Structure 1
Amino acid sequence: MWMYLGLLAALFLGLHNLCKKHAVRGNEVFPVLLGTVGSGFLFLIPLFLTSVNAPEYAQKNGVFIGTISWTLHGYIFIKSAIMAASWILAYQALKHLPITIVTPIRSAGPFFTFIGAILIYHENPNLLQWLGFFLIIFSVLLYSKIGKKEGIVFKKDKWILAIIVATFLGASSGLYDKFLIQYLNLTPFTLIFWFSFYVVLILLVILSITWFPYAEKRKAFKWRWSIPAVGVLLLSADYFYFKALQDPEALIMLLSAIKRSQILISVLVGGLLFKEQNKRKKLVPLVGIMLGVFLILYS
């Protein structure tokens, strides 16, 4: 069952990536990020109020958001800080790079998760899983050569470095998720609500320094329908992902790989919608990435 939940998370993540590209294109990154996270958080507030005033009803319908200790708040704040940094870097990179370059690099996230799962959680990979992960990494390297034809030099472009660091931080957060869900027994809605709360606070502090005081930047910001759409789609993806992690048998390394199937939507549909270059050549490493994911699932 947890694998099917992982596929649902991948579906919503793929749609989330398309909306995110539309939201940041020619727009101010920080307020877009605040708008996306804030939209998801506003969607959760009625569930929180229901949990406070009618806890039995919320528990019965599976939308309960529990009160937690200050220690747990500290653990969730750490996750919020990691993901806030990852999103800031990823959104900046997405603003300056084609989605068909950004998404495949992000697909290398399972490799970092894979290593962490072995060292931290002692998950045991087999031969096919090894082959699958290295095939994904090799395919991502192929994208670097294609990117050069679009004027993107991977060794010198700062946005490439930004998306690589964002990918590493995102993978670290994924490993941390297993600790929060399986070891601290946080429920999906409780984790998502307080995580979103702290991310919004972090972004408000950043924007109070870098954006709110500057009238020109405020005027440059464009509100788009895709901004709240990103928040709701990400909320949906996180819910199914955390539900999958609640299963004691769920392996974080495999869940991370299953989520990469979002690349089908991002590269194939996104390449057509945003009319990006070299779509046919990008299909070659795309097939490699999908084959790597297949080997992991088949194993």
Structure 2
Amino acid sequence: MWMYLGLLAALFLGFHNLLKKHAVQGNEVFPVLLGTISSGFLLLLPFYVGSAWYPEYMKSLNFYITNIPWQTHGYIAIKSAIMAASWLLAYQALKHLPITIVTPIRSAGPFFTFIGAITIYQEKPNGLQWVGFFLIIFSVLLYSRIGKKEGIHFKSNKWIFAIIGATFLGASSGLYDKFLIQSLTLNPQTLQFWFCFYTVLILLVILSITWFPNAEKRKAFTWRWSIPLVGILLQIADYFYFKALQDPDALIMLLSAIKRSQILIAVVVGGLIFKEQNKRKKLVPLAGIMIGVFLILYS
């Protein structure tokens, strides 16, 4: 069952990435990020209020937000800091790079998760899983050659390093999620609500220094309908992802790889919508990534 929940998370993440490209293209990145996370927080706020006033009813809906100790709040705040840094790097990269380059690099996230799952959680891959992961990495390297034809040189472009950093931090957060869900026994909605709360606080501090005092940057920001939808789709995807992680049999390395199937939507549909270059050539490494994901699922 947890694999199907992972596929549902991938579906919503695919559309989330498309709308995210629309939200940040030619726009100020930091307020866009604040808007998306705030939208997710507002989506979850009624569940928090309902849990305080009508706990039995919310429990019957399986959307009850539990009371947690301060130590657990600290653990969630750490996740918020990790993901805030990851998103700041990723949004800046997405603003300056084609989505058909950004998304496949992000697809290398399972490789970092793969290493962490082996060393931290002692998850044991089999032969096909090894082949699948290395096929994904090889396909991402193939994308770097295609990217050069669009004037994107992977060794000198700082936004490439930004998206690689974002990918590493995102993978670290994925490993941390297993600890939060399974070791601390947090339910998805509790983790999502407090994660959004602390992330909004972190972003408000950053924007109060870098964006609010700057009149030119404030004028450069454009509100778009896609901004709140990005936050809503992310929370839906995270809900299915965290529900999958609640299964004690769930393997984070496989779940992370399953989520990468979102690139089918981002690369194919996104390439058509944003009219990016070399779409046909990008289908070759895309096929490699999809075969790698299939091998992991098949194994």
Q: Same fold (TM over 0.5)?
A: yes
> How far 1:171 moved relative to its partner?
0.2
Query: Residue 136 of structure 2 corresponds to which residue in structure 1?
Result: 136
Query: Residue 60 of structure 1 corresponds to which residue in structure 2?
Result: 60
Query: Residue 157 of structure 1 corresponds to which residue in structure 2?
Result: 157
Query: Residue 222 of structure 1 corresponds to which residue in structure 2?
Result: 222
Structure 1 CA distance for aligned equivalents of residues 155 and 67 of structure 2: 47
> What value does the CA root-mean-square deviation take over the aligned residues?
0.4
The residue type paired with residue 154 of structure 1 is: F
TM-score (normalised: structure 1): 1.00
Give runs of aligned pairs for residues 108-147 of structure 1, distance below 5 A: 108-147=108-147
Q: For each residue in 1:13-70, what CA deviation from the matched residue of structure 2 results, as whole angstroms up to 9, or x when unmatched?
A: 0000000000000000000000000000011111100000011111110111111110
Give runs of aligned pairs for residues 161-240 of structure 1, distance below 5 A: 161-240=161-240
> How far 1:215 moved relative to its partner?
1.1
1:82 partnered with 2:82: yes
> How far 1:169 moved relative to its partner?
0.3
> How far 1:294 moved relative to its partner?
0.4
Structure 2 CA distance for aligned equivalents of residues 52 and 218 of structure 1: 37
Query: Residue 15 of structure 1 corresponds to which residue in structure 2?
Result: 15
> How far 1:214 moved relative to its partner?
1.0
Unaligned runs of 5+ in 1: none
Runs ≥4 residues deviating over 4 A = none
Q: For each residue in 1:135-184, what CA deviation from the matched residue of structure 2 results, as whole angstroms up to 9, or x when unmatched?
A: 00000000000000000000010000000000000000000000000010
The residue type paired with residue 65 of structure 2 is: I
Structure 1 CA distance for aligned equivalents of residues 292 and 249 of structure 2: 22
Q: For each residue in 1:55-114, what CA deviation from the matched residue of structure 2 results, as whole angstroms up to 9, or x when unmatched?
A: 111111011111111000000000000000000000000000000000000000000000
Structure 1 CA distance for aligned equivalents of residues 43 and 167 of structure 2: 27
Query: Identity, % of aligned pairs?
Result: 81
Unaligned runs of 5+ in 2: none
The residue type paired with residue 187 of structure 2 is: T
Q: Secondary structure at the match of 1:172?
A: helix
> How far 1:216 moved relative to its partner?
1.1
Structure 2 CA distance for aligned equivalents of residues 177 and 44 of structure 1: 19
Give runs of aligned pairs for residues 264-283 of structure 1, distance below 5 A: 264-283=264-283
TM-score (normalised: structure 2): 1.00
> How far 1:292 moved relative to its partner?
0.3
Q: Secondary structure at the match of 1:150?
A: coil
Structure 2 CA distance for aligned equivalents of residues 47 and 190 of structure 1: 9
Structure 1 CA distance for aligned equivalents of residues 234 and 67 of structure 2: 23
Structure 1 CA distance for aligned equivalents of residues 211 and 69 of structure 2: 33
